[in-house]
A and B are shown apart, each in its own frame.
Chain A
Amino acid sequence: MPKLQELTARETIQKIQGNEATAEECVHAVFETIHKLEDKINAYVTLTEEEALKKAKQIDRKLSEGKPVGKLAGVATAVKDAICTQGTATTCSSRMLKDFVPPYDATVIERIKREDGVIIGKTNMDEFAMGSSTETSHFGPTRNPWDMSRVPGGSSGGSAACIATDEAVLALGTDTGGSIRCPASYCSVVGLKPTYGLVSRYGLIAYANSLEQIGPMAKDVYDCALFLSVIAGHDPKDGTSVKAAPKDYTEFLKDSVEGFRIGVPREFFGEGTSDAVEKHVWKGIHKLEELGASYEETSLPTLEHSLAAYYIVAMSEASSNLARYDGLRYGYRVDKDDGDWATVYSRNRRIGFGTEVRRRIILGTYALSAGYYSKYYLKALKVRTLIRNNFEEAFKKYDVLVGPTMPFPPFKIGEKIKDPLALYMSDVDTVAANLAGLPAISVPCGFTDGLPVGMQIMAPPLREELTLQAAYTFEQNTPYRNRKPAVK
């Protein structure tokens, strides 16, 4: 029989509501796992054990009194440290926000609490979500549970690693250019980037706000759908929130892809794609065909330019967003105010920000500066329009587009961090979904030399259910979901 921490969210809920275990026992089991493994994995920045157990007891009390409980009652949920939690430090894995304690909850946190989800801690990430390896964290890298010498992917590396190791049942991630899908792929869990605007960004510490979305990360596709149903929905506090009718995404999880038309853009298998990844993803596509879908190779030529366009837009937005960190209202501030305001600000920002964050702010400032604005920023936004149009055309012919999530398997810690451009290249297959605002999921599709490979499934805006149904069918008919990393 599986141990309590090994259960999915659905199984945990069934156990608790069937009186086979209490919420307190379930949450406690997850914390025991955390205490056993955290020294090795480093998935968390902050743990909230005391509050979590208190909340679990409250749920148990409600149940024993026959009162109704929420959809996530008793489910141990981790939150990426870029999302504000009232009274609990929210650091963005940066020295700049090391001591920042938000006075309010993000809307997604309110929604989780409303459904009786139990928040157990804040997960490690690349500083300000800028990275694909969780190596730029001020609190040290998170390790890949499948091979401790390798990166877990990023920037939501802690969120993916804690699910893979049963250090959490569900986790929130954020995805600006692949930051949910990349670590989901590298840790062999499921991660979904929703359509831009589907999930409220209120209380998310901004990096590049026209690109980023909060999304669910989970042990399987069902949990991912359940979690999405809880966090999605219109929020008047977010000006870019979409007014879409709420859906219960679990209702779409049919074990069938009969009649699905799949497009496979050859640009997703471009230069730099490893043979092993290519092999496993194609195996996955053939599996979907075997299960009733039809596929066709196609071309979206604008994808060739998505990486450059993405980085220009992301850095430009970052330079503007992160201008707020002056060390006055919150954030790191040097002790001595020796000098005028500009000198003090510049020093706060030099010490408070790590190298990659400074690199992106400065390059973004350049891309927005007089004389270069139209050459870089405006040009990238026009390319973005063409990418979007290209997808729109493709989705007239196909229900979903499928390709690899990552071009190569997880790399070694330290392997790419000294060469920023090499690290940026790892986002080549994920950034297009952010530029176009599309939903995209990563689902485990195999292993190469013991390292996970993920398959990416993209759908038209607000058609999350298509990505979920295809991923669910794939998962139900393949063995990858059952494989667990051997961390002890």
Chain B
Amino acid sequence: MKIKHLSKKEVEHIAWLAHIELSDKEKTLFTEQFNEILDYFKKIDEVDTEGVEPTYHVLDLKNVSRKDKAEPSLPTEEALKNAPKKEQKFIKAPRIV
């Protein structure tokens, strides 16, 4: 029997957390698809991982850093070139408060 992992209401909430607007039709479709995918993901529950350390990535690297020395960076005009909305030397943001 299939378990319902997520309701439409929950999908709406997660989409909001991810800052992605969804239409009502998409919410319904995604809810259905997510439940199917999450049902498949249950497969990993079968694995006994007691005492196993997680692998975040495969390299044995820690805190790779370079010398604290200033190096040339992008000129302001270059850095702003791809911004859709700007004013003088600034990127224009939507209303924050």
A interface residue numbers (CB < 8 A to B):
99-101, 103-104, 196-197, 210, 236, 239-240, 242, 302, 304-305, 307-309, 311-312, 319, 323, 326-333, 337, 339-347, 349-350, 353, 355, 358-359, 361-363, 365-366, 369, 376, 378-386, 388, 420-421, 424, 435-437, 461
Contacts and interface: CB of A to CB of B under 8 A. Distances in A.
A381 B55 contact: yes
Given A236-B66, A305-B46, A369-B14, A345 B19 contact: yes
27 contacts: A99-B82, A103-B74, A240-B59, A304-B43, A307-B43, A308-B43, A328-B85, A329-B82, A329-B83, A333-B84, A333-B85, A337-B95, A341-B96, A350-B21, A358-B22, A359-B34, A361-B18, A362-B14, A362-B15, A362-B20, A362-B30, A369-B17, A376-B41, A382-B49, A382-B52, A383-B44, A424-B37
A378 B53 CA distance: 9
Contacts, number: 165
A159 to B, nearest CB: 24
A424 B19 CA distance: 24
Smallest CB-CB A-B distances: 6 pairs? A437-B58, A381-B54, A330-B82, A382-B49, A210-B57, A350-B21
B91 A328 contact: yes
A353 B22 CA distance: 11
B85 A100 contact: no
A362 B38 CA distance: 13
Contacts of A100: 82
B64 interface: yes
Contacts of A420: 33, 37
Given A305-B44, A420-B37, A346 B55 contact: no
Interface of B: 6, 11, 14-22, 26, 30, 33-34, 36-38, 40-47, 49, 52-59, 61, 64, 66, 74, 78-79, 81-85, 91, 93-96
Contacts of A345: 19, 94
Contacts of B49: 379, 382-383, 385-386
Contact of B36 (A103, A341, A383, A421): A421
B39 to A, nearest CB: 9
Nearest to A351: B21
A384 B55 contact: yes
Contacts of A353: 20
